[in-house]
Amino acid sequence: MSAAKKKIFYNRVRRTCLKHGIDIIYDGSPGAIFGVQLVKDGSVMFADNSSTNRPLNIDWESMHKKITEDGYKGGVK
């Protein structure tokens, strides 16, 4: 996935999470993220973790599809 496409879906996920009160929790430092979770009211809605010792290539598009399927649409611009 290109960097521009990744940024588009990251922004969509971030805005939707902001609107609906979903927390985005990262595991690792900003340069090396090994996991990401979307948490709503204490329960994990979506999680993506690295199975190797390498930083995670986060698939923001699949994350966006998952939260849209769960009924969370729209976002703050």
pLDDT tens digit string along 7-38? 999 999 999 999 999 999 999 888 899 999 99
* Nearest C-alpha neighbor of 63 from the set 36, 43, 40: 36
Q: What is the pTM of this model?
A: 0.86
Q: What are 54's two structure tokens?
A: 């390498």
List Cα–Cα distances, 42 to 24, 38, 45, in angstroms: 12, 10, 9
Q: How confident is the model at residue 75 (pLDDT cuts 50, 70, 90)?
A: confident
How far apart CA 59 and CA 62 sit, in angstroms, is 6
